[in-house]
Structures are given as structure tokens and as C-alpha cells.
């Protein structure tokens, strides 16, 4: 146990790129108990700036995902500062020398944790928001015989060109800091991190959300107050190299980019046999419903449920929209009852 959460040692871990992650580890947390039949396990990967603590906003007593009934495994993504990351890697792979990881690598590591360490051979559900939702798609394609159901919300199976361009913008803002030094900085590039947060805030919510002043629902009197808060969050909580390792994994997101499917996107979609409810936000600026509509058409057992909202991508952030939480719980309950 480290800092109140368990870690699982992966040791030498071969990556999809051909590189090797040395002394790899996954940080995770479990909630509830595995039943005797071992058929109540649910995996929640983490999202881009998330940790297992943030995932706690998606479940609880009396909710669709309830530790009284389900064994919930919340697994931290590579690069989030808890699992193997540039900020905590041993000498030789720390900082800018950290190898590139993909969603395939994340899910293969999670599969190793779930099967070899926890002794679970089947998952009732894999679900998640944003990059965590991308990983739920990845689970469905990578291990189709193991997953009963998936519920990706505000996510995609393959990162779109427009999404890649958005991410290039926030990356460029960070790297423009003159102290960035190609990732070999002596101290965190604070100006770059502030710029990263300020640019990102423009994409996280919709145009209508800003026009109608819905930032006041979060306690901000002005847009500038919101932007300063986003700046401070990135300076206070994130390592620059960690952010960029995850960002690159996001840009490379593609459930077909691996030895199983060899880039055949249609084949990888068709391979997802799990029951799927795909849940986009109607106003998400980088995971738009149209992309999900195309994906669902190629999946064997999937349904598209669009949540109508002005909150954009951040409608799903725990605590932002009670209506979305209820919408999500209804879909989760349906999948878990199947």
C-alpha cells in the first residue's frame, strides 16, 4: 500500500510502440466486495485529469453503481502521477525520457491487474468519461470475450482530426513557455501550464454555456474568474510531462491500431460484442454526437443516447449537472440488469 491506495507491479512491460516500460506499476482502488460467483466486477478507468478519487463521483450508496452490490475497480491511467508516469518513473525513463504509452497499453495493463492479481475472468461492465470512455471502448475491442457491457460517455473509439487539432493547441500553449526546454525543465513551466489551462477552458464548455453565464452555477462571477481557476488547477496539480504523455495517448486513440486489427477500423468496431450504451453530450466540442453515431452504426449491440445540454464536455464532471447524473444512472442500471 502506498499513500492509502494499492499498487500493482507490472515489472518489465512491453508497449504497443515496441518500447519497454521498466518497473511499470498501476495504482488503483477497489470498492465493495467480489461476490462468490465473481460476476459483479466493474472497471472504471480514469479520465485525462482524473484519478481514482475523482471516479468516486460516479457511484455510491443507492446509485446504479453501488459498492453494496458491485465490486468496483478504479484504475489510474499511465501518466496521471499515481500509476507509472514521467514524474515518478525511475532514472532513465523519468521526465522527457518516459516511453510513449497508448490506450492499448493501458488496457492490457489493466487486464493483467484484473485477471492475474484480482483473479477475475469476466467483467460485468466497463464505463467512463472522456479518456476513460475511450478505454471502455478499448476494453470492448481488445477483450471482447471478457466484457458484458460498456458505457462510454463523452468519448470516442478513434480520436478525430478535429480533436487532435484541439489537443495540438493546448500542447503548443504549454510548450511555448521558454522554460519548457523540450521537457527537461528544472522546475514546472508555470506560464505554460497556466496557458494550457486557460486554452483548455474554452473547449470544455459550449458557446451557449458561456453566453448564458452558466459559469455562475460553478461559483464564478466572471469568465476571468473561471479562467484563473483553470490556470491554478493545472499549476497546482499537474506535471507538464505527465499531461503531454496522456495527451499523446489521447491523440493516438484508435481501437484498431494494434496487432489484433491491423488498422481495420470497421473490423474493430464489429468485434465489440458487449452490450453498449454510448452517451455523448449534445454540445461536446471535441467528442460530438455525430462521431458516436458513426461508431454505433458499426457496432453489433450498441445504442446511442444523446444527453441534451449546454454544458459541453464537462456536463459529466461529477457535481456539475444532476440531470446528467440521473441520465447516466438510468443507463448504468439498465446495463447492469441485463
Q: Is 161 helix (H, G, I), strand (E, B) or coil?
A: helix
Q: What is the structure's pLDDT at 338?
A: 80
Pull the grid cell for residue 135.
478505454
Is 252 strand, coil or helix?
A: coil
Concerning whether 117 is annotated as a catalytic residue, the answer is no
Annotate 224-248 with DSSP letters as a single string: HHHHHHHHHHHHHH--HHHHHHHHH
Q: Is 105 a catalytic residue?
A: no
d(CA 23, CA 11): 4
> Which of 74, 313, 317, 321 is the catalytic position?
313
Residues in the chain predicted with pLDDT less than 70, given as ranges, are 1-3
pTM of this structure: 0.96
Tally of CB atoms within 10 A around 259: 7
Q: Which of 196, 223, 244, 202 is nearest to 81 (CA)?
A: 244
> Is 62 buried (19+), middle (13-18) or exposed (0-12) by CB count in 10 A?
exposed
At residue 111, the 3 state secondary structure works out as helix
pLDDT of residue 1: 33
Give yes or no for a contact between 106 and 272, defined as CB atoms under 8 angstroms apart: no
What pLDDT sits at residue 30?
98
The helix (H) or strand (E) run that includes residue 44 is strand 41-45
Residue whose C-alpha cell reads 470544455 in the numeric block: 204
Q: Of 74, 130, 136, 156, which one is the catalytic site residue?
A: 130
pLDDT of residue 3: 52
Please report the domains of the chain, with CATH numbers, ordered by start residue: 7-160+253-337 (3.40.50.1820), 163-247 (1.10.1740)
Among 104, 163, 159, 155, CA closest to 134: 155
Residue recorded with cell 476513460: 132
Quick check: 192 and 174 in contact, CB under 8 A? yes
**Residue 13, phi-psi category: left (phi > 0), alpha (psi -120 to 50), beta (remainder):** beta
| Dihedral sign (CA 291, 49, 111, 97) | positive
What are the strands, taking DSSP E only, across 101-148?
125-129
Whose CA is closest to 155, among 313, 25, 2? 313
What stretches of 139-218 adopt beta strand conformation (E)? Answer: 149-153
Query: Of residues 254, 284, 310, 321, which has the active-site annotation?
Result: 284
Q: Which residue has the cell 461508431?
A: 295
DSSP letter at 298 equals T
Whole-number pLDDT of residue 230 = 98
Whole-number Å distance between alpha carbons of 50 and 83:
12
What does the angle CA 117 – CA 120 – CA 125 come to, to the nearest 5 degrees? Answer: 125
Of 218, 272, 255, residue with least CA distance to 138? 255
**pLDDT, tens digit, 9 for 90 and up, residues 136-150:** 999 999 999 999 999
Q: Is 317 a catalytic residue?
A: no
The three grid cell numbers given for residue 54, joined into one nine-digit string: 475523482
Amino acid at each position: 500500500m502506498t499513500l492509502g491506495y494499492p499498487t500493482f507491479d507490472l515489472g518489465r512491460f512491453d508497449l504497443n510502440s515496441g518500447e519497454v516500460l521498466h518497473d511499470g506499476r498501476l495504482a488503483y482502488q477497489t470498492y465493495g466486495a467480489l461476490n462468490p460467483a465473481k460476476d459483479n466486477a466493474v472497471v472504471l478507468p480514469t479520465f485525462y485529469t482524473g484519478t481514482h478519487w475523482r471516479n468516486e463521483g460516479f457511484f455510491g450508496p443507492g446509485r446504479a453503481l453501488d459498492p453494496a452490490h458491485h465490486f468496483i475497480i478504479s484504475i489510474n491511467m499511465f501518466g496521471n502521477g499515481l500509476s507509472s508516469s514521467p514524474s515518478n518513473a525511475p532514472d532513465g525513463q523519468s521526465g522527457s525520457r518516459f516511453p510513449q504509452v497508448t490506450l492499448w497499453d493501458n488496457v492490457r495493463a489493466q487486464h493483467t491487474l484484473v485477471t492475474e492479481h484480482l483473479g477475475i475472468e469476466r467483467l460485468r461492465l466497463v464505463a467512463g468519461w472522456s479518456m476513460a470512455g475511450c478505454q471502455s471502448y478499448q476494453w470492448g475491442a481488445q477483450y471482447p470475450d471478457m466484457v458484458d457491457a460498456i458505457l462510454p460517455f463523452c468519448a470516442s473509439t478513434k480520436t478525430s482530426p478535429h480533436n487532435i487539432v484541439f489537443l495540438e493547441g493546448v500542447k503548443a500553449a504549454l510548450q511555448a513557455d521558454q522554460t519548457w526546454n523540450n521537457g527537461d525543465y528544472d522546475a514546472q513551466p508555470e506560464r505554460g501550464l497556466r496557458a494550457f489551462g486557460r486554452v483548455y477552458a474554452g473547449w470544455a464548455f459550449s458557446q451557449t454555456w458561456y453566453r448564458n453565464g452558466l459559469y455562475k452555477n460553478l461559483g464564478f462571477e466572471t469568465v476571468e474568474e473561471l479562467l484563473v481557476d483553470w490556470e491554478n488547477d493545472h499549476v497546482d496539480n499537474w506535471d507538464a510531462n505527465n499531461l503531454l504523455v496522456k495527451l499523446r495517448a489521447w491523440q493516438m486513440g484508435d481501437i484498431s491500431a494494434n496487432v489484433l486489427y491491423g488498422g481495420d477500423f470497421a473490423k474493430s468496431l464489429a468485434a465489440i460484442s458487449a452490450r453498449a450504451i454510448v452517451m455523448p453530450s449534445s454540445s461536446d466540442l471535441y467528442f460530438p454526437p455525430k462521431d458516436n453515431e458513426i461508431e454505433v452504426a458499426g457496432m453489433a449491440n450498441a445504442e446511442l443516447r444523446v444527453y441534451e445540454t449546454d454544458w459541453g464536455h464537462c456536463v459529466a464532471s461529477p457535481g456539475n449537472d444532476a440531470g446528467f447524473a440521473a441520465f447516466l444512472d438510468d443507463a448504468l442500471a439498465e446495463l447492469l440488469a441485463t
